[in-house]
Amino acid sequence: MALYLITGIGGFIGSSLARALLSSGEQVRGVDNFSTGKRENIAEILDRIDFREADIGDLDAMHKACAGVDFVLHQAAIPSVPKSVQDPLGSNRANVDGTVNVLVAARDAQVTRVIYAASSSAYGDTPTLPKNEAMSPDPISPYAVAKLASERYMISFSRCYQLETVSLRYFNIFGPRQDPSSPYSGVLARFIMQMLRGEQPTIFGDGETSRDFTYIDNAVEANLLACKAPANQAAGQVFNVATGTRITLNQAFKSLQGMTAYSGQPRYEPERKGDIKHSLADISKAQAGLGYNPKVNFEEGLRRTVEWYRRK
């Protein structure tokens, strides 16, 4: 049994990781400042985790949180592209300064390994698809720059302090508990909530924007594998976490029409600043280095997610 620290445990990905670890008998500690995470996401597991309300900007709190920890799963972030365009300083504070604090605390506590929630947004709008990890990044939004900077900090701490770090470049993770309520929320969570309520969803752009939408169980699996993979294959490395298929917003809307029985059409509005047009991953490095294989495809993940929001 190992002790895992999850930063951002109140978030949709952090709380999913906590549930998976608890069900395999591991010990879980978590921190969240509830800036984007939610108390309700951890309410039913609160008695089984060591939860501390804290900000990753608080180095002292991070030192305390890392004491005795084997693995850190660093998920805490302000995860929105448009929010970072509006507030680049806030994005940098949470997504870069916060990460360096977590790394310093993990290093000082001699944690075995830190797994980082990196982002596919680092690739930017370069025309080649699918994206592989050897390509030069070309981030567009302040958010993407921050996520890439933190990824480089992960690598730096591997090189300078022998702290094992693994960066997982998430490609549009979706699933139960993703917050649908803010204009900055992930597109599928938003569409599902709106369509179940009979409200018209908005598509920014012509709807041909595409993403490698990845169901949460696949991301959870990737994190667990990243903790256990041999250091010579994983430490100081960056891996795409995705499915290797891409879906347009128009296609996603159509699938959801069937699943939610929404009969209207979407409203089309101009593209958002900072958005990238297409995103598709080559997942062969994660397959070879981590033994990662996505188990839940887009349609199945979407069905499970709609069911969860329907029951909510």
Report the catalytic residues: 143
The piece of 54-62, 78-86, 227-235, 254-262 that touches ligand UD1 (CB under 6 A) is 78-86
Task: Give the residue from 75, 97, 95, 74 showing the smallest Cα distance to 83.
Answer: 95
Is residue 119 within the footprint of ligand UD1 (CB under 6 A)?
yes
Residue 298 engages ligand UD1 in binding (rule: CB under 6 A): no
Query: Can residue 14 be called a binding residue for ligand UD1 (CB under 6 A)?
Result: no
Q: Which is nearer to ligand UD1, 25 or 183 (CB)?
A: 183
Binding mask 262-281 for ligand UD1 (x = CB under 6 A): ----------x--x------
96 binds ligand UD1 (CB under 6 A): no
Q: List the one residue from 211, 246, 278, 285 that touches ligand UD1 (CB under 6 A).
A: 211
Q: 185-204: which residues touch ligand UD1 (CB under 6 A)?
A: 185-187, 190, 202-204
* C-beta closer to ligand UD1: residue 13 or 105: 13
Q: Per rule CB under 6 A, is residue 167 in the interface with ligand UD1?
A: no
Q: Least separation, in Å, of the C-beta of 203 and ligand UD1?
A: 4
Site track 120-149 with ligand UD1 (rule: CB under 6 A), x = hit = xx----------------------------
